[in-house]
Amino acid sequence: MNKPIATEDTLNSTAPAPAASQKFDYDPCEEPSYDILIISVVCTCICVCGLVGNAVVLWLLGFRMKKNPFTVYVLNLAIADFSLLLVLLVNISLHFMSPQYCISHYVFILINSILFVLFLFCYFAGMYLLTAMSVERCLAALFPLWYRCHRPKHLSGILCGLLWALAALCATLLFTSCFFDENCKYIFYVLCIVNFVLFSFFPLLSNLALFIKLRCGSQRRHPGKLYVAVLLSVLFLFIFGFPFSVETFLAVFYPRFYYISCVLASLNSSINPVLYFLVGSCQRCQFQCSIRAAFQRLFEEGSTSEERSQVPGHAVMETSW
Spatial separation of the C-alpha atoms in residues 45 and 300, rounded to whole Å: 31
* Residue 194, pLDDT score: 84
C-alpha 116/C-alpha 177 separation (Å) is 14
Note the pLDDT tens digit of each residue in 22-75: 333 455 566 667 777 888 899 999 999 999 999 999 999 888 788 888 889 999
Distance from C-alpha of 98 to C-alpha of 111, rounded to nearest angstrom: 11
Above pLDDT 90, what percent of the chain? 25
Q: Using pLDDT thresholds of 50, 70 and 90, give the confidence band for residue 280.
A: confident
| Domains of the chain (ranges, CATH numbers) | 17-318 (1.20.1070.10)
Inform me whether the pLDDT recorded for 169 exceeds 80.
Answer: yes
The whole-angstrom separation of Cα 20 and Cα 8 is 8
- 163-191 average pLDDT score: 81
**What is the rounded CA–CA span in Å between residue 49 and residue 72?**
23
What's CA 39's distance to the chain center, in Å?
20
Residue 7 clears pLDDT 90, i.e. is over it: no
| Strand bridging mode 315-318 / 282-283 | unpaired
| For residue 263, pLDDT beyond 70 | yes
Q: What is the pTM of this model?
A: 0.81
Q: Measure the CA–CA gap between 6 and 4, rounded to whole angstroms.
A: 7
Instruction: Give me the half-sphere count of Cα atoms (radius 13 Å) on the Cβ side of residue 59.
Output: 8
Q: Which of the pair, 262 or 247, is modelled with greater confidence? A: 262
Mean pLDDT of 164-180: 85
Averaged pLDDT of the chain? 76
Position 275 scores a pLDDT of 92
Give the helix/strand (H/E) hosting 282. Answer: strand 282-283
